[in-house]
Amino acid sequence: MSNISKSNLIIKNRKFTAEALWSMGRINGYDLFGDTLLYTVSYYDIPKNGSSSHIIIKALNSKEYIDLTSKMRDSNDQLTKSCAQSQTNAIFDKNGRGVLFNSNGNLFKYCFESEQVEQLSTGSLDIREFKISPDNSKCLFISSIDHSYKNEDYNDLPLASGMIFEDLNYRHWDEFNTSLPHPFVSKLNNMKFEDHPFDILENEPYESPLKPFGGIEQLCWSKDSRKIAYTCKKKVGKEYATSTDSDIYIYDTETKTTINLCKDFEPKNYGFDSNPMYSPNGKKIAWISMERDGYESDRSRLIIFDLNTKKKSFVSEWFESNVESFDWINDCQMVFTGVWHGTTHIYFIEITNDNELFNHEQITTGQYDYKSVKWFGNKLIVKRQSMIEADELYELDLKTKEIKQVSFENDFIYTQIDKASVQPKWMKTVDNKDMLVWIIYPPHFDSTKKYPTLLYCQGGPQCAVSQFWSYRWNFLLMASEGYIVIAPNRRGLPGFGMEWLEEISLNYGGLCMKDLLTSVDIMKKESYVDSDKLGCVGASFGGYSVYWLAGHHQKRFKVFIAHDGIFNTEEQYIETEEMWFSQWDMGSAVWEGKEKSKKSYENSPHRFVEKWDTPILCIHSEKDYRVVVSQGIAAFNGARMQGVAAELLYFPDENHWVLKPQNGMLWQRTFFRWLRRWLE
């Protein structure tokens, strides 16, 4: 949406609000040329109910910056002005003399000298993301091809809206699969598209990158600009819907041949493989690999494949958690991010010439989540967040471990508010294990006072309660409204070893629920926790937790809020779109009657509705195909049929998340109004 710029919000009474949350800049991708930083940031506008992506350019050692998008809006050149309305995936060109970006489905370049834009691609290509080859001779880009159902019997019904499907995988996340993302290549002449692009998956009914969240990070160029490594799951229908087995392929643009690194060489990889990246000398390729097919929350490991010897080496086996973002420093050194004990930090590894692990070291500390790492030849630029600060960019010195902030998008918010405080608390579980619980305290916390307190139930169900920043489940906002927040790393969350992680599968109502109650029972003993004003909130599996606890809490809580939660596990097994998830976490369909699935269905929250006795707010969205809307409707109906006070907040146009500004504001206002009604 055009004409949305950085907010100039004035905050009253130094209180962080939902309006302040939606006024923050959200940093996306970034690039570096010399000492000049480029990044894109999204600004939101509540009255306009939209957002706009801006390109920001600044020196690393200065707070001064140029908003290139705003500058383009003021241009007298019509093409330059029109491109300012929509800009994504901005990077410096090879010589640092301009910025490449895509806008309205095409590729453009902004020239610093002329201060004008030129179009590099031709026609309507619907370019989503792109990567230029190292020698600037080719452009790899993602575009969608038609994949809708075709039947000539219905050609005379052009206005019919019905869709016909013959197999599974007909919809994913929030859309029906009527198109497929494919990687295309075009030759370049002086950076302009020279010929008609060709599809490297031509006539193949597969996705690359993978829906729903895969992007250009799932593809990369070889150093000689000849080959493309890409991520693909070459399965369709039921086979696709029940498997996580994606592979890394290498396509040769000259011979038009393809090899499969995961299946053509031993040991074969059968889990989820993604995000290939060539080493600086081009002799190795690294990617993230899971071991087991069907297990979407399996440990993500860092694998290196030697293109000469064909040897595969898993170099993160020592790290009993997930490798997330990674990058090469040189041919024998790498960095990656990974969660451990409730924080996501950066790790440095050295490998031998034979790709064996030589050394590893954690190089960042503190209560933070580092979300991405990028090496730019002599500088490491990273993205960092916490429960009380949104994403900003930093420069990390690998030798001294010193870190320096280089973006300051949201300082204008932080200087106007009083922040909450966050402390870790280790608790003993019912089986004498150690559990990390984050406690978030309101600004100006006074231990002599009593505070209403919320139990936060994490979703996933295998997503860490780390130092994450959320634009819905925002702990700073909850604390600023006067609540203490209890955020347990219950059974089933990563960062505490595989045994802790896998305790939850096939047993949603087991120790993970006891962990949640344990955290509340321990905190209730603190003098500053008002045990008569306890609430319980959560989304997705956190919503399942809320629905389950509503039937088992034994008068602990005064109010519940569930967002997009699983209410009936029997229905969830056959309603969700990623069938591999249900198959792994629940074990089998209810009609199969298998013993291993018994707990999954016996602990379905809908079986305990007759015990519900506490007010509950149910939130659900029509376009949520992960946990479909009937789950929330059934929970609300069940509560009202029991005579329990309840509200249903229904969004006809949102998915598993709430993304539109005014819907987000409605969500926050309803959330806190419901809490105030029952806790004050």
**Interacting residues of 607 by C-beta distance below 8 A, sequence separation 6+:** 551
> 461: cis peptide before it, omega within 30°?
yes
Active site residue 354: no
Burial (CB count <10 Å: 0-12, 13-18, 19+), residue 240: buried
Task: Determine the Cα–Cα distance for residues 387 and 442; give it in Å rounded to an integer.
Answer: 13
Residue 175, strand partner residues: 172
Task: Determine the Cα–Cα distance for residues 392 and 383; give it in Å rounded to an integer.
Answer: 6
Task: Determine the Cα–Cα distance for residues 374 and 31; give it in Å rounded to an integer.
Answer: 8
Active site residue 624: yes
CA end-to-end distance (rounded Å), the chain: 40
* In contact, 631 and 638? CB cutoff 8 Å: no
Per DSSP bridges, beta strands 451-457 and 529-539 are parallel
Tokens of 354: 């034979």
**Closest Cα partner for 458 from 342, 346, 374?**
342
Among 54, 345, 563, 656, which one carries the catalytic annotation?
Answer: 656
Q: What DSSP string describes 608-667?
A: GGGG--S-EEEEEETT--SS-HHHHHHHHHHHHHTT--EEEEEETT--SS--SHHHHHHH
**Closest Cα partner for 562 from 583, 574, 548, 576?**
548
Tokens of 643: 């005579």
Phi, psi of 56, deg, nearest 5: -110, 135
Among 7, 222, 540, 621, which one carries the catalytic annotation?
Answer: 540
- Residue spans of alpha helices (H) in 488-628: 498-502, 511-523, 541-550, 569-575, 579-586, 598-602
Tokens of 351: 């490998």
Active site residue 656: yes
Provide the annotated active-site residues: 540, 624, 656
